[in-house]
Amino acid sequence: MELKRVLVANRGEIALRVIRACQQMGIETVLAASVADRDSLPSRVADRTVCIGPAPAAQSYLDVRAIVAAAKGTGADAVHPGYGFLSESPELAETCAAEGLVFIGPRPEHIRDMGNKLKARESAKAFGLPVLPGSEKVHTYQDAAAVAQQIGFPVMLKAAAGGGGRGMKIVLQPDQLQRMFESASAEARAAFGDNTLYLERYIANARHVEVQVLGDAHGNVIHLGERDCSLQRRHQKLVEESPAPAIAESLRAEICNAGQTLALSIGYESAGTVEFIFDEDAKKFYFLEMNTRIQVEHTVTEMVSGIDLVQEQLRVARGEPLRHRQQDIMLRGHAIECRINAEVPAEGFRPSPGSITEWAPPQGPNIRLDSHCYEGYAVPPYYDSMIGKLIVYGCDRAEALARMSQALARFKVSGIATTLEFLRYVMVHPDFVHGRVSTTLVDRMVNELAEVRKAVLTP
């Protein structure tokens, strides 16, 4: 199957990333842009741009009909959804198929089944993956209380249709459960139109480790190693690295094999990520979820594997078999990615939109920046606050850490608040340097940095 023209149904750095991957393969690109992004850098780089609606995402990037109409109207053969927005929408995948368009991603049933966290959990368990002690769906607070009593506190309430930390609540003790249940249920309904919840045991000293998988329509599935994505704020990642530090090689192999097993068992196609919770104290891992799309942090896997994952997505969408066998995959060195966000960490990572008056990113060997920003760019208030991803590579983790610290120090941005200073602090923090990471470490770091500032400023 030949792809001559691809509609890129996204914005920002991932839109630019997909456009450039297509162009390197000789594929024309059409950017589907909102009014706010008509003059963006991706719009300038794409072969053509078509406006799909007003700035609010609900009226543009989340409008299936507008995106499909844009693809049909511009003669596109396929749609690449990037990540976020409609990237995990079975409706978009099904509509594309019905209209004769190729959806560059997995089959609709995989998006739907893995997008439902309860069904994904059941599938993982059926295929032999370890899962946390937990429940099926809980309809009422009383149901939740009974399950929590059985598995023991603390527990975590989760939205079955959830993602991005929405509809997710940590319950430390019984007297918090009713309030948290009602809050999570309302949040899930507002975010996903589905208030179905379930419970899992909460692991306090947890790490977030995920496995990159890649499959084709010919039954081939490989993994490209794992990433550690434990440094998070509000359940959203800030720093990612590959390979995951401070994990025994035997356990690393188990995690990667488990991710590949799940993808192979369901006949997965395209790029995807199988995510696990790693209990640092017990040295055990448990299935968390599967993301049926390219990930923000795919870049670190590209750096250690030498494989362009977006181009592989395009090849799989053309019906080609994978070009790599598992035994051919050689993972070398260490890569780290820092998400540069227009945010104020000291104020709960409050978004900081506005005009960039200075944009001077670092340059040098083994430094990569994926960004759509430039001096004079106005960061809009309508979308995610990420303005770039800084990625470095080193022969080992120590070299990668040193290179990232230097790169962050040379990165100059003015006109808006960013996470650059906080990320510089992360790179030299003893816990991060020694691989003692967890999903709660960021909150502690923010408080520590505030104390450091206070000590410096106090006479």
Per-residue model confidence as pLDDT tens digits over 331-360: 999 999 999 999 999 999 999 999 999 999
Sign of CA pseudo-dihedral 312, 317, 321, 326:
positive
Examine the pLDDT at 429 and tell me if it is beyond 90: yes
Active-site residue among 207, 293, 339, 424? 293
Residue type, 148: A
Query: Is 436 annotated as catalytic?
Result: no
- Contacts of 169-177 with C-beta under 8 Å, sequence gap 24+, read 170/202, 171/202, 174/145, 174/148, 174/149, 177/141, 177/144, 177/145, 177/148
148: exposed, middle or buried (C-beta count within 10 Å: 0-12, 13-18, 19+)? buried
pLDDT at 160: 86
CB 162 within 8 A of CB 291: no
Of 199-213, 384-398, 400-414, least confident by mean pLDDT is: 199-213
pLDDT in tens, 61-103: 999 999 999 999 999 999 999 999 999 999 999 999 999 999 9
pLDDT at 149: 92
74: exposed, middle or buried (C-beta count within 10 Å: 0-12, 13-18, 19+)? middle
Q: Which two tokens stand for residue 409?
A: 């120090």
**pLDDT level of residue 456 (50, 70, 90 thresholds):** low
Please, what is the Cα angle at 386 between 383 and 389, to 5 degrees? 150
Nearest by Cα to 120 from 147, 129, 218, 190: 129
Considering the chain, what is the average pLDDT of its residues?
95
Examine the pLDDT at 454 and tell me if it is beyond 70: no
Other C-beta atoms lying within 10 Å of the C-beta of residue 102: 21
pLDDT at 243: 98
Percent of the chain with pLDDT over 90: 87
pLDDT at 164: 65
pLDDT at 455: 64
Please, what is the Cα angle at 212 between 293 and 219, to 5 degrees? 80
**CA distance linking residue 376 with residue 358, whole number of Å:** 8
Examine the pLDDT at 458 and tell me if it is beyond 70: no
**pLDDT level of residue 241 (50, 70, 90 thresholds):** very high
**CA distance linking residue 260 with residue 414, whole number of Å:** 43
Percent of the chain with pLDDT over 70: 98
pLDDT at 430: 95
pLDDT at 166: 80
pLDDT at 405: 98
Instruction: Name 207's bridge partners.
Output: 278
pLDDT at 193: 86
CB 202 within 8 A of CB 170: yes
Residue 17 backbone phi and psi in degrees, to 5: -60, -45
pLDDT in tens, 120-155: 999 999 999 999 998 888 889 899 999 999 999 999
pLDDT at 304: 98
pLDDT in tens, 11-64: 999 999 999 999 999 999 999 999 999 999 999 999 999 999 999 999 999 999
**pLDDT level of residue 165 (50, 70, 90 thresholds):** confident
| DSSP at 326 | G
pLDDT in tens, 279-336: 988 999 999 999 999 999 999 999 999 999 999 999 999 999 999 999 999 999 999 9
Give mean pLDDT, residues 263-283: 96
- Domain annotation for the chain: domains and CATH numbers: 5-104 (3.40.50.20), 133-201 (3.30.1490.20), 206-457 (3.30.470.20)
